[in-house]
Structure 1
């Protein structure tokens, strides 16, 4: 199934993001998580791609395993900053042979372990170039998703620049977008308004990160420029070493955040699971009736 077509029909989407584990035990835990979430019948799941292409083979193997061993629609993340165009085309041809129809096209993080890193000659240096490469070589075979940043990419000088660059990705052929995690919904709504004014109308699915480890998520938020509300920080800080209480508070907050997004017409919810199922399952169970009503319309 092509994700872009599903979203453009107005079908409400539930989706989960996973990352390739580093160990065999981690892989077993991941597929246990996938099994526990599969009964929800998500619209799709996605598998991330490490900085500099560091998980190329692992990502492909996990994508193929999900595709062959489950009933789930899987989307492969693909970053371009560290690959030649020939390498990108080889990866995409591999996915086409497997039967993968959905790609999340990303620039990717610059490898921090290579101080003098430079992209290969002729590489796609930005995600809009990657979208163009995919469309020019594969036509409409792949449904292409791209990232969006309601608070701006960390490298963006301002939101006007952010919207202009996002529009370039859409003009090159992106079908839909998934946002970077955010915790203040107004940023998402304001981003949608700015896109609308620029004539950008693809579905933009909000990315939700349930907080189960305060220090870890604070680090992620700092890296990507996501603002954690002060009142939430005040609630979480006393329990930084108490994962159970942190998870409880994080789930309660995510439920309220998602309820607001549902009331305001979000086209779906994309959960950053960190390869765990508990928080996502509890949030889904709390929202279940509302979500199922939307999925039936």
Structure 2
């Protein structure tokens, strides 16, 4: 089922989850265990993250070898494994511009089409990971370019000339930044970049994490003023320790409200920190639901307990059947 169709269903606020593939050489067993524990909340879809390859220097028997590898490969494999293990849940792999040429991306999109993957989440990828002259010659510079490529394939227009090409049928999501992307000069410029991705063919937006309802409302209002009328799904991250809270601004360039900081600083034990984080985030989710968001997207980072505790705090122990109650 296309995410655009899920979003059109009336009187339904859905739950979606995001998982990170295991590190190279790891196992997906823990992700499966986490997903099994969260299935009682009836998630509508799950995202599988992806990151471009970066240069590594590896000590080998014959010396130091330079190679470009992804720290967490397996996005497509994990997405397909989850798709067939949980047939009631839609799966969305992240597709990244960086590290692949536009022709390699076309091949990848064809593979995904054959595998029956209908939904994609398109991002540019972190700046700087395609190192200088090692960057593929025909690499897309921006997410909007890849969105346009997918939109063209949905019309039967491929990069490589093909007669009587069969159109693909992908639904595409893109990222939005309620506090602006760190590379944008200002908030207004960032909204313009988002609009360009929508005009290229995106169907929905999932936001970067945020911790203040007013931040999300301001972002949505600015998007609507810019004539961006597709659904904007809020992204939420359970935060249950002061240590992890301190790391978030350095990695994601977002602001942490004083109320959350104070409540966790005043905690006397790790358990109290955990409960302070769950209380604050559950209150935020409740306010988002009251505001009328289309759904709640939870960045699990593979940690099932904090996600489950957050969802239980909002919805109690009652099973959520197809919509939030």
Structure with more helix by fraction: 1
Contact preservation (8 Å) 1:51, 1:110? no
- What is the match of residue 108 of structure 1? 125
In 2: Cα distance, 1:80 partner to 1:200 partner = 23
- What is the match of residue 254 of structure 1? 281
- What is the match of residue 7 of structure 2? 7
Q: 1:287 aligns with which of 296, 300, 314?
A: 314
TM alignment of 1:175-194, pairs within 5 A = 175-194=203-222
Shift of 1:65: 0.6
- What is the match of residue 218 of structure 1? 246
1:213–1:21 Cα change, 3 Å: farther
Q: 1:152 aligns with which of 167, 180, 189?
A: 180
Q: 2:110 aligns with which of 93, 99, 107?
A: 93
Contact preservation (8 Å) 1:75, 1:100? yes
Partner SS, residue 180 of structure 1 = strand
TM alignment of 1:270-285, pairs within 5 A = 270-285=297-312
Shift of 1:69: 1.7
In 2: Cα distance, 1:115 partner to 1:66 partner = 32
- What is the match of residue 162 of structure 1? 190
Q: How many equivalent pairs are there?
A: 295
In 1: Cα distance, 2:305 partner to 2:21 partner = 19
In 1: Cα distance, 2:141 partner to 2:31 partner = 31
In 1: Cα distance, 2:264 partner to 2:284 partner = 16
Range with bigger deviation, 154-163 or 225-234: 225-234
Give the RMSD, CA atoms, in angstroms.
2.5
Q: Does 1:263 align with 2:280?
A: no
Shift of 1:7: 0.9
Shift of 1:282: 2.1
- What is the match of residue 134 of structure 1? 150
Which has more radius of gyration? 2
TM alignment of 1:58-77, pairs within 5 A = 58-71=74-87, 72-77=89-94
1:117–1:232 Cα change, 3 Å: farther
1:41–1:49 Cα change, 3 Å: same
Using structure 2 for the length normalisation, give the TM-score: 0.83
Consecutive unaligned residues in structure 1, runs of 5 or more: none
Shift of 1:96: 1.2
Q: 2:100 aligns with which of 61, 68, 83?
A: 83
Partner SS, residue 205 of structure 2 = strand
Contact preservation (8 Å) 1:209, 1:271? yes
Shift of 1:294: 9.1
In 1: Cα distance, 2:224 partner to 2:40 partner = 35
